[in-house]
Amino acid sequence: MPWAQVATPWGEFYAAAEGENLVELRFPGPPPGELRPPPPVVKTLTRQLGEYFRGTRTAFDLPLALHGTEFQRAVWRELARIPYGAAVAYGELAARVGRPRAARAVGQAVGANPVPILIPCHRVLPASGGLGGFGPGLNWKKRLLALEGAGSYP
């Protein structure tokens, strides 16, 4: 899959697109594959992420083509409904998708989110407190939550 670099105030992210739709977003690090010039949707992503990191954008308006199971897509749709600056527990998210006993399965679907930040998986926290997990690393989760004013975490 060809990737495009996404320059932001928080570093160089990487995005993959299929046609007019974003399919994946990766945090700064080594390029995940062959880099190509950014298509129009990645240029829009670059602008919107810059606005988000500067604190002037609270929601994203980008076309997405997400590949996952029906359960994963249901979890991702519900993640997208978590407001900026808010957080929910994994169990609450499980109840919202109609599977109140499936908090672990929900956690796995959250972890498989191909477009973090755009679909705000960083806004999900364990009911017992703390941060839980985050694929790109807990420091990123802390920074994103702090940016949104969702509290401070050790």
The whole-model pTM stands at: 0.92
What ranges do the domains of the chain cover?
A: 4-53, 70-147
Class of domain 70-147: mainly alpha
Handedness of CA 67, 135, 99, 146 (dihedral sign): negative
Report residue 46's pLDDT band, with 50, 70 and 90 as the boundaries: very high
Q: Which of 75, 70, 2, 68 is nearest to 33 (CA)?
A: 2
Indicate if 121 belongs to the active site: yes
In this model, does residue 151 exceed pLDDT 80? Answer: no
What are 117-133's pLDDT values in tens digits? 999 999 999 988 888 88
CA angle 105, 110, 115 (to 5 degrees): 150
Considering only CA atoms, which of 49, 54, 51 is closest in space to residue 22?
A: 49
Rounded Cα distance between 149 and 7, Å, is 23
DSSP per position, 9-58: TTEEEEEEEETTEEEEEE-SSS-SS-B-PPPHHHHHHHHHHHHHHTT--S
Which residue bears the tokens 């957080």? 87
User: Residues 6 or more apart from 2 whose CB is under 8 A from it?
Assistant: 16, 33, 34, 35, 36
% the chain with pLDDT above 90: 85
Q: Counting every residue, how long is the chain?
A: 154
Active-site pick, 97, 118, 121, 150: 121
